[in-house]
Structure 1
């Protein structure tokens, strides 16, 4: 199957899964506690992921990566990386920022990516070396060159107090240099903002793989510079990530180092 055909199949699968999620979306939803949030989110993920797997299972030479089953490290080869409900916490609270991620990883790098956001009827697509698009229109990153004018985003989740302390220090350092700094969960949406030129810089420690794999391909194909926080090449097993408009990457890297 050619990449064009494969990307079309990914879009179709994401749209079908997104439609299923939309059917259960209630803007008035307000779960009472963490248990209710978990039960709702788990059900959404199972429904959506089942649809994606049924649509794409059996593509020659592509396996299914699952962090819960396989661990954080992604081995060499070709793998589907899927988040059936990216932003499930938003969905269950009646917020519109959620969707379906499907990314094809090839030897540590994202090759094809689709993000479907049913609210707004938005479909983001990217192919390595072929550009990034929103509903078929090309995306382009910011042209800014001054960090003092930059809208900077991060997405720091996790359960590690050491990472929290490191992030707090980096947040303070960046806030002293940039126009504004935001921390947004889930990962995908700030990276979509960088790819669209609405935000200028993104960083994360211990990256969330589905969102980061998708977002780095979209932003990179829209013209962003993607690296780890040492300034080296980024791949799906890197311990951190920096994504920035070309005119801001060096300055952002200096601050975050």
Structure 2
């Protein structure tokens, strides 16, 4: 049993002792096994990481991205299928919107895949169990550092067993904030919206970070390292894992206008509670 599994099982026992309930405790066991599966799959992606390989066409690049995905899924899919045989799989991690009823595995086998192919270190393997359109548990593993972030609905968010908490920042002018591009080839209106929001945040926040993937920024919000993250449009796979981590770490999840967020929303905002109102004001002015 891995150290991460032991930490997650310990968290499950603590949750049960606190009265979280048998269902959540059973899900915590699934979370522990999911963590082991994601870490094993992460080893495959780490072994494929190396020098930058230049691609001569978009088609060639897409084949390389797909090859990474397939190599990781060859390890991850059988293990997760054994864990929840009745759960269906989301076929395309770039899709947005609500899922049909039931239980689904939402997996990004190489979150930040384009970074991986360009020799950049910002990439991960993620697996999220979604039940009736709500994330129940998530695992985000960073193979280069060995870190594993986990969250279980109602039982908190953790980094290798250590509880996470969002920052206590209350002044947007002292806040480190971040945004991300949801996908290549965004439509012109979304691109303009991103540009104007970055300008607004550059005027109001301390520092603005812009990079992909979204999930890694959301890990930092959950860990209290940055204070807010926003994105326009977006796929389920790059927002639902981080949304669960941030909410379980005490953060706020809404759309950019402060309304309740769902996978069908056209914007996303995750913040420390103390800067949420100011972030909404900046993004909507």
| TM-score interval, normalised by the smaller of the two chains | over 0.9
Secondary structure of 2:145's aligned partner: coil
Query: How far apart are 1:70 and its partner, in Å?
Result: 7.8
Query: How far apart are 1:114 and its partner, in Å?
Result: 0.1
Distance 1:70 1:134, change over 3 A: closer
- The one-character-per-residue Cα deviations of 1:42-83 (angstroms, maximum 9, x if unpaired) are 101011122211111151442111237987442232211000
2:108 is equivalent to residue 83 of structure 1: yes
- The one-character-per-residue Cα deviations of 1:135-171 (angstroms, maximum 9, x if unpaired) are 1111111111000001110112332111001111111
Unaligned runs of 5+ in 2: 1-22
Cα contact 2:257–2:283 (8 A) shared by 1: no
- Give TM-score scaled by structure 1 length: 0.93
Give the aligned partner of residue 79 of structure 2: 55
2:143 is equivalent to residue 118 of structure 1: yes
Q: Number of matched residues?
A: 256
Distance 1:228 1:12, change over 3 A: same
User: In the aligned structure 2, how far is the partner of 1:68 from the partner of 1:221?
Assistant: 23
Cα contact 2:94–2:237 (8 A) shared by 1: no
* Alignment partner of 2:54 out of 31, 47, 66: 31
User: In the aligned structure 1, how far is the partner of 2:134 from the partner of 2:98?
Assistant: 13
* Alignment partner of 1:184 out of 191, 195, 211: 211
Cα contact 1:101–1:211 (8 A) shared by 2: no
What's the RMSD between the two structures over aligned residues?
A: 1.9
* Alignment partner of 2:35 out of 6, 11, 21: 11
Query: How far apart are 1:35 and its partner, in Å?
Result: 4.4
- 1:90-129 map, 5 Å: 90-129=115-154
Query: How far apart are 1:129 and its partner, in Å?
Result: 1.0
- Give TM-score scaled by structure 2 length: 0.85
Secondary structure of 2:169's aligned partner: coil
Query: How far apart are 1:190 and its partner, in Å?
Result: 0.8
Secondary structure of 1:94's aligned partner: coil
- The one-character-per-residue Cα deviations of 1:65-119 (angstroms, maximum 9, x if unpaired) are 1237987442232211000011111111122211111001122221100011110
User: In the aligned structure 1, how far is the partner of 2:96 from the partner of 2:170?
Assistant: 39
